[in-house]
Amino acid sequence: MAKYVDGFVLPVPKKNMNTYRRMAGMMAKLTKKYGALECLEAAGDDLDPKMMGMKFTKFPALAKAKPGETVVFSFIVYKSKKHRDQVNAKIMKDPVMNDPKMKDKPMPFDMKRMAYGGFKAIVEA
């Protein structure tokens, strides 16, 4: 059975990176607690690469990043789509996710510009 990956690309204001890192770390611990195989959060570093004269969409354009923002690329690996759904159901029932203090806490990024999707692995090395 092929692994399954949830992928995210989102612009984060550089001034909010520490807050984002803390939030992402908490979510990574939660997803691992309930069975995710791997979690990775990566902040943009080389976002204007030059590759042998090739033209392609760069992550800042894809994420509609504004001045003062960087792009975060993250993914979570699961055994399968079914496993992902089971892990996410457990996460949503966790007390951390249902803490009243967290209900109206603002996100450190613009959710409307976050790209998210589930992907079935087609090559693993």
Q: How many domains does the chain have?
A: 1
pLDDT at 98 over 90: no
Asked if residue 98 belongs to a domain, the reply is: yes
Q: Is residue 104 part of a domain?
A: yes
Quote the domain boundaries for residue 71. 4-45+59-120
Q: Please give the Cα distance from 67 to 65 (Å, whole number).
A: 7
What pTM was computed for the model? 0.90
pLDDT of 72: 98
- The reply to whether 109 falls in a domain is yes
pLDDT over threshold 90, residue 106: no
CATH number, position 95: 3.30.70.100
d(CA 27, CA 91): 9
Please report whether residue 110 resides in a domain. yes
Strand order in the sheet with 115-120: 38-43, 69-78, 4-13, 115-120
Residue with tokens 């079935």: 120
Residue 51 covered by a domain: no
112 burial (CB, 10 Å; 0-12 / 13-18 / 19+) is exposed
Classify residue 79: in a domain, yes or no: yes
Residue 52 lies in a domain: no
The pLDDT, as a whole number, for residue 69 is: 97
pLDDT at 104 over 90: no
Q: Does some domain include residue 11?
A: yes
Tens-place pLDDT, residues 32-46: 999 999 999 999 999
Encode pLDDT of 43-93 as tens digits.
999 998 887 778 888 999 999 999 999 999 999 999 999 999 999 999 999
